Chain A
Amino acid sequence: MSAGEVVILALLGGVLGLDTVSFPQAMLSRPIVGGTLAGALVGNPLPGLLVGAALELFAVETLPFGASRYPEWGSASVIGGVLASSGLSVEAGRLCTAVLATLMMAWLGGWSMVQLRRLNARLARRRHDAVARGGRRTVLGLQMAGLTADLTRGIALTAAGLIVFVPLQAATLQSWVGGVELSRAVVAGTAGAVSLGAAYKLFHAVPGFGWQFLLGLAAGLAVVSVL
């Protein structure tokens, strides 16, 4: 991967990381979007979509409630999309390693957002008196500082993730023993379990949840049977 490609992908990661909380929260940062966009940028959107969809099943469990700590999927999805899309053919372990690296980066991204919020708090405390005097420049400056720091955070995180995980994945896949089918089934099984658990936790209080879910399941299985 060339330095130019890393720069372009890091910028995408920065924009998607910014979308997670700061601007504009249009859910460009969801894995199904971020993974696909990253795949498209490296010229192979379909594997990007595949890893994005697998990650979306995990992401349903982690919703961005207020000040709680949650994984940052925006910049992490770019790593996943690139790792899934870089190979020339379907290889055993590629999807699994792409998902694993993305989960690790999403965890790291969540930690970095906590640090960013602490930094924003320190800046706000330092400028408290100016804000209390109604200083326009201070209020606007704090907002711009937070947005810039968040963008920088996403860019740095994505660049670091690409530099670490692209060669690591290549080395891992060279030693990988086992078929494509099993490796994909393990990813699908874990993602599906997390998603099903999340759906139950979110909607079990909805009247008739069981019947509605089973109705959808029957429809889904019927479509699978004819695919």
Chain B
Amino acid sequence: MNERPPPTLPLSTRAAIFLRLLAVQGAFNYETLVGNGIGFCVEPALRRLPGGREGEAYRTALARQSQYFNTHPYLAGVAVGALARAELEGESPDRIERFRTALCGPLGALGDRLVWATFLPLCSFAALVVFGAGGSPLATVLSFLGLYNTGHIGLRVWGLQAGWRNGLAVAQSLGNPVLQLAAPQLGRVAAVLAGCALPLALYRVMGAERDLFVGTGVGVITGAILLVSLHGRMEGWKLSMIVLAGFALYSVIR
């Protein structure tokens, strides 16, 4: 951990950084990825460098922070907090560059595994359970958005605080057992919810039609086995587009 207490950062500056973090991918592109977004988010803190916005330190730091960078968007705050502190504490440019390079991989991998591959599907299946159990439009949408954004906003707030608190030593925070164990534990919950959501959601989508329910279930299992055996050579939603287009055509011209 970084032993030095962090320099003072006013609440208004923290709030500005946090709001900008919500748009960190606004200029996402295949060359600098979220590089410009990191510069955009760090900028309010850099104004506190000697000379302010017009100073040489500000311009040099902003240029450095706007170069290529890759991260999971929800964990960008970890990098932004740490980089803002490093710049305000006058760390050497070489050290900051090395830190930026080292941080890209772990932040991306952790965020992809925890959020995209686990928490987002978990929330989708939870909302489908609410829908399948007869939830109203409002209840279904609010349960999804409430559950998802509790985790989403919580992760962003934690990330910015951890980055600022620990500075260039922030990598240790990523090894936090809570973060490391969250994905497998949430994966277990998601597996249960997936099993529960499928029959419930399908039953309601079919309009509570019992006669075709068993046959549809057999079709679902057969289709899923086919899709898994394709090993990603074709995505299921694209194949479904072809099946549905064929069915629509058949229903119109027969």
* A-to-B contact residues, CB < 8 Å: 21-28, 30, 32-33, 36-37, 39-40, 45-46, 48-50, 53-54, 56-67, 71, 90, 92-93, 95-97, 99-100, 103-104, 106-107, 117-118, 120-121, 123-125, 131-136, 139-140, 142-147, 150, 172, 175-178, 180-203, 206-209, 212-221, 223-224, 227
**B236 contacts A194, C-beta separation under 8 Å:** yes
Q: In the complex, which residue of chain A has the Cβ closest to the Cβ of B148?
A: A27
Give the residue of B25, B39, B197, B204 whose beta carbon is less than 8 angstroms from that of A139.
B39
- Smallest Cβ distance from B15 to chain A, in angstroms? 14
Enumerate chain B interface residues (CB-CB to A < 8 A). Answer: 22-23, 25-33, 36-37, 39-40, 43, 53, 58-63, 66, 70, 72-74, 108, 112, 116-118, 120-121, 123-125, 127-129, 131-134, 137-138, 140-141, 144-145, 148-149, 152, 184, 187-188, 190-209, 211-213, 215-217, 219-224, 226-228, 235-238, 240-241, 243-245, 247-248, 251-254
A209 cross-chain contacts in B, Cβ below 8 A: 187, 191
| Across-interface contacts of A146 in B (CB, < 8 A) | 26-29
Query: A108: shortest Cβ distance to chain B, in Å?
Result: 11
Residue among A25, A143, A217, A223 facing the most chain B CB atoms (10 A cut-off): A143
Q: List A contacts of B22 (CB < 8 A).
A: 23-25
Instruction: Please name all residues of chain A whose beta carbon is closer than 8 Å to the beta carbon of B216 when the two chains form the complex.
Output: 185, 188-189, 192
Please give, as numbers and ranges, the residues of chain A lying within 8 Å of B219 by CB-CB distance.
189, 192-193
Write the nearest CB–CB distance from B53 to chain A, whole angstroms: 6
Are B236 and A26 interface neighbours, CB within 8 A? no
For B124, what are the chain A residues with a Cβ–Cβ distance below 8 Å?
30, 32, 56, 59-60
When distances are taken between beta carbons in the complex, the residues of chain A under 8 Å from B199 are 217, 220-221, 223-224
Q: Chain B interface secondary structure, helix, strand, loop or mixed?
A: helix
A60 engages B125 (CB within 8 Å): yes
Q: How far apart are the CA atoms of A147 and B19 in the complex, in Å?
A: 14
CA–CA, A213 and B220, complex, Å = 15
CB < 8 Å neighbour of A21 from B25, B118, B127: B25
State A30–B198 Cα separation when bound (angstroms). 18
Whether A193 and B224, one on each chain, are in contact in the complex, defined by CB atoms closer than 8 angstroms, is yes
Chain B residues within an 8 Å CB radius of A33: 141, 144-145
| A189 (CB) vs chain B CBs: closest residue | B219
Q: Which of B137, B192, B195, B207 contacts A49 (CB 8 A)?
A: B137
Asked if A100 and B191 make an inter-chain contact with CB atoms under 8 angstroms apart, the answer reads: no
Contact assessment for A182 and B212 in the assembled complex, using a CB-CB cutoff below 8 Å: yes
B149 neighbours in A (Cβ, 8 Å): 26-27
When A53-B204, A96-B244, A203-B191 are in contact, do A36 and B117 touch as well, CB less than 8 Å? Answer: no
A194–B242 alpha-carbon span in the complex (Å):
13
> Is the CB–CB distance between B59 and A133 below 8 Å?
yes
Q: Kindly state the separation between the CA atoms of A99 and B204 in the bound complex, as whole angstroms.
A: 15
Q: Give the chain B neighbours of A183 by CB distance below 8 A.
A: 247, 251
Tell me if B191 and A213 are in contact (CB < 8 A).
Answer: yes
Distance (Å) between the CB of A27 and the closest chain B CB? 5
Partner of B223, one of A25, A189, A227: A189
| 6 nearest A-B residue pairs (beta carbon) | A216-B195, A193-B223, A134-B59, A194-B236, A146-B27, A197-B227
Q: Given the complex of chains A and B, what is the CA–CA distance between A177 and B27 in angstroms?
A: 47
A118 and B29 contact, Cβ closer than 8 Å, known pairs A190-B223, A201-B228? yes
Are A200 and B228 in touch, CB under 8 angstroms? yes
Bound CA span A175–B251, Å: 8
Nearest B residue to A200 via CB reads B228
